[in-house]
A and B are shown apart, each in its own frame.
Chain A
Amino acid sequence: MTKPLSAPLDVGFDYTRSTGPTLGRFLSDLRRRKVTGIRGSDGRVHVPPLEYDPVTAERLTEFVDVASTGVVRGWSWIPEPLEAQPLDRPFAWALIQLDGADTSLLHAVDAGSPDRMSTGARVRVRWRADRVGAITDIECFELSDEPSDEPVEADDVTMVTTPVHLHYTHSASPTEDPFLRGLMDGRLIAQRCPACEKVYFPPRPACPTDGVPTTDQIELSDRGTITTFCVVNVPFLGQRIPPPYVSAYVLLDGADIPFLHLLLGVAPEDVRMGMRVEAVWKPREEWGPTMQNIDHFRPSGEPDAPFDSYSQHL
């Protein structure tokens, strides 16, 4: 069997979070080139500050200023930094106990070489020029015992935004593969369950009723019946057609499962359950391994299908 189709899948989104009073104070102070900890129930000063004590779970409120210099308590060496890490040249991850703190903060140390790193090494904050109130306002730490730049004035922050970008290779299942390859040739390839004989379009990796992989391929025509539909009246981000328009479930002739597609060529008030429709394909040169090869469905002009013919597929 050939390897199923696969494609790069890049997932990107910004997490936006409110900071609350404890982390808000810490992040606002970073913007001011200041590091702030909090005193725990046992008197230890935690940096970064914790909202609740890790042992007693008591709410913590006593902020404590600490230095922007400190000592390395543990480290590892990254010879090949990964995307979005603090430095794009080899660096050390380190747990750093700042002077005045009792716990350690994780950050990068721009040491140049692992030979220059050691547990016990003195480090100081290298502040980023354009600070926004985030842990990345500390660009990294550097090997030095001299104090960092002086604090400055800056407004409080109450929100923090963390961009996330992850990269995957998305693989089609062995049953989706002939479906996608068929679409490239303008063919609609469904799969039949060997146990219950239901026909799935698009195919599933296994029949959801029987839990067995579907094995029989069958080709369907591009005509079908509207089982149900809705009229989209609300504009939203990324919408391709001005509302109102109709999204309809289309049950292809010979299939047991309807799929959602766009219905054009008919006024929304004239759309009915049971309406017969046919596919309108995009120009062949625009075809790819996607259902978007079908631009939309339109009424075929045939008489409506009787309710009994699709009542089991709603």
Chain B
Amino acid sequence: MRDVAVVGFAQTPCVRETDGTTNGVEMLVPIFHEVLGSLGLTKSDIGFWCSGSSDYLAGRAFSFVSAVDAIGAFPPIMESHVEMDAAWALYEAWVKLLCGEVDTALVYGFGKSSAGQLRRVMAMQLDPYVVTPLWPDSLGLAGIQARMGIEAGLWDERAMASVAAQSRAAALSNPLAQLSGSFEVDDLLAAEYVVDPLRRHDCAPITDGAATIVLAAGDRARELCERPAWITGFEHRVDSPSFGTRDLTTSPSAVAAGKAAGADGIEVAELHAPFTHQEILLRQALGLGDDVVVNPSGGVLAGNPMFAAGLARIGEAARRVHDGTASKVLGHATSGPLLQQNLVCVMEGRA
């Protein structure tokens, strides 16, 4: 089996609202230029294109087809799409490279959450018979999970607030972040509940944005990148969609994906945790000790472009290998309600 590495990464600024369309073209064109330009590539050097996005977020059918305009798909390209976070599109592209069909792939995700009402749109991913007709909103569901963990003694509101404070402090060094700054935990705790027991700082912001990653195999990766982030473990697992059936204070699928991908010896981890308590839960599920640097970018609490945020976690982690600040990193992505589905990508630099 040949080796595949993340060799390039670019993302848009995370912003509350863009003027662009919901098909993402305005966000994608500049980051395609940035990532291809940084590698000295043009579109004809890319063997496979794969994207992640959602028509429910866009409010229009086949929005990903319009997005292909950003590529300039003539002569015809080899292209695929997942109606999920683009981290799963990265998985598809990785498999394509492992099979030896192509040597390079460009993966992208985009979302303009500001176009609709994100809390309601997220109800469309729930069980269509017994859950969606009630229109549970994403904050309401996360609040139940947060309280269960609080009452089980796994975390408390102070620990949740310190996750938010750490995220925003880390994001001070991330020029693309939406939320950053120095915050005292006590000040954060003085805020009103948005959805008891969640305060505003416990919830990822509503963000428009896009991200892209370039994968390359073997010698092609070594040609393109001084320190490729070689993928040594890439796994995703899923729990039952019936969340009343499972123990919400943990995530068996995150535990299983972490174990299978080999999460030992990680130096830096970027976790896709849209709520503060979920970062604490995921640290535990993935067995990340206090010596692991978690979310140096600020994570999704500092900017959460739907359907791109998980891919961006892998890109942010890979960047620590590219710039030589870490030699083994982990990128995580989640999908579905309450950490139902989890993906772990472990990457290593080699001397």
B62: A residues at CB distance < 8 A: none
Whole-angstrom CA separation of A104 from B145 in the bound complex = 13
| Residue on B nearest A160 in the bound complex, by CB | B129
| Residue on B nearest A52 in the bound complex, by CB | B240
A162 touches B128 (CB 8 A): yes
B143 touches A82 (CB 8 A): no
Interface residues on B, range: 35 or more
A50 touches B145 (CB 8 A): no
Question: How does the 8 Å CB contact mask read for B98-121 relative to A, with 1 for contact and 0 for none?
Answer: 000000000000000011110111
> Which stretch from A163-171, A183-191, A227-235 is at the chain B interface?
A163-171
B134 touches A85 (CB 8 A): yes
> Which stretch from B65-73, B78-86, B324-332 is at the chain A interface?
B65-73
Contact pick for B69, options A23, A83, A107, A204, CB 8 Å: A204
Within 8 Å of chain A (Cβ to Cβ): is B242? yes
| Residue on B nearest A209 in the bound complex, by CB | B74
A9 touches B195 (CB 8 A): no
Within 8 Å of chain B (Cβ to Cβ): is A54? yes
> Which stretch from B177-185, B215-223, B244-252 is at the chain A interface?
B244-252
| Residue on B nearest A30 in the bound complex, by CB | B130
B115 touches A169 (CB 8 A): yes
B147 touches A119 (CB 8 A): yes
Within 8 Å of chain B (Cβ to Cβ): is A206? yes
Known: A84-B135, A171-B19. A76 touches B195 (CB 8 A): yes
Known: A166-B121, A211-B69. A3 touches B243 (CB 8 A): no
A77: B residues at CB distance < 8 A: 143, 193, 195-196
B140 touches A78 (CB 8 A): yes
| Residue on B nearest A210 in the bound complex, by CB | B72
Within 8 Å of chain A (Cβ to Cβ): is B47? no
A46 touches B245 (CB 8 A): yes
Within 8 Å of chain B (Cβ to Cβ): is A262? no
Whole-angstrom CA separation of A166 from B136 in the bound complex = 14
| Residue on B nearest A205 in the bound complex, by CB | B25
Contact pick for A76, options B60, B72, B198, CB 8 Å: B198
Known: A3-B19, A134-B133. A46 touches B26 (CB 8 A): no
Within 8 Å of chain B (Cβ to Cβ): is A303? no
B144 touches A206 (CB 8 A): no
Question: How does the 8 Å CB contact mask read for A113-134 relative to B, with 1 for contact and 0 for none?
Answer: 0100001000000000000001
How many positions in chain A have a CB within 8 Å of any CB in the partner chain? 64
Within 8 Å of chain A (Cβ to Cβ): is B148? yes
Question: How does the 8 Å CB contact mask read for A30-69 relative to B, with 1 for contact and 0 for none?
Answer: 0000000000000000111010001000000000000000
> Which stretch from A11-19, A236-244, A253-261 is at the chain B interface?
A11-19
A168 touches B134 (CB 8 A): no
Whole-angstrom CA separation of A23 from B244 in the bound complex = 16
Known: A46-B245, A76-B195, A166-B56. A135 touches B133 (CB 8 A): yes
Within 8 Å of chain B (Cβ to Cβ): is A172? yes
Q: How far is the CB of B271 from chain A (nearest CB, A)?
A: 22
Known: A93-B144, A168-B22. A106 touches B243 (CB 8 A): yes
Question: How does the 8 Å CB contact mask read for B26-53 relative to A, with 1 for contact and 0 for none?
Answer: 1001001000000000010000000000
Within 8 Å of chain A (Cβ to Cβ): is B289? no
A17 touches B129 (CB 8 A): yes
Within 8 Å of chain B (Cβ to Cβ): is A108? yes
Question: How does the 8 Å CB contact mask read for A78-100 relative to B, with 1 for contact and 0 for none?
Answer: 11001111100000011100000
Within 8 Å of chain A (Cβ to Cβ): is B174? no
Known: A74-B248, A173-B21. A208 touches B115 (CB 8 A): no
A15: B residues at CB distance < 8 A: 128
Within 8 Å of chain B (Cβ to Cβ): is A287? no
A170: B residues at CB distance < 8 A: 22, 59-60, 115
B117 touches A167 (CB 8 A): yes
Within 8 Å of chain A (Cβ to Cβ): is B141? yes
Whole-angstrom CA separation of A76 from B136 in the bound complex = 11
Within 8 Å of chain B (Cβ to Cβ): is A288? no
Within 8 Å of chain B (Cβ to Cβ): is A294? no
B130 touches A211 (CB 8 A): no
B245 touches A76 (CB 8 A): no
Q: How far is the CB of A209 from chain B (nearest CB, A)?
A: 4
Q: How far is the CB of A71 from chain B (nearest CB, A)?
A: 13
- With most chain B CB atoms within 10 A of its CB, the pick from A79, A114, A164 is A164
Known: A23-B129, A169-B115. A211 touches B29 (CB 8 A): yes
Whole-angstrom CA separation of A27 from B124 in the bound complex = 20
Q: How far is the CB of B313 from chain A (nearest CB, A)?
A: 26
| Residue on B nearest A94 in the bound complex, by CB | B144
- Beta-carbon contacts under 8 Å, A173-213 to B: 173-174, 176, 204-213
- List the interface of chain B (C-beta within 8 A of A): 19-23, 25-26, 29, 32, 43, 56, 59-60, 66, 68-74, 114-117, 119-121, 124, 128-137, 139-148, 151, 193, 195-198, 240, 242-246, 248
- 11 of the cross-chain contacts (CB-CB < 8 Å) are A15-B128, A74-B145, A79-B193, A104-B245, A106-B136, A108-B134, A114-B196, A134-B133, A207-B72, A210-B72, A211-B70
Would you list the 5 A-B pairs with minimal beta carbon distance, nearest first? A76-B143, A211-B72, A168-B59, A104-B244, A54-B240
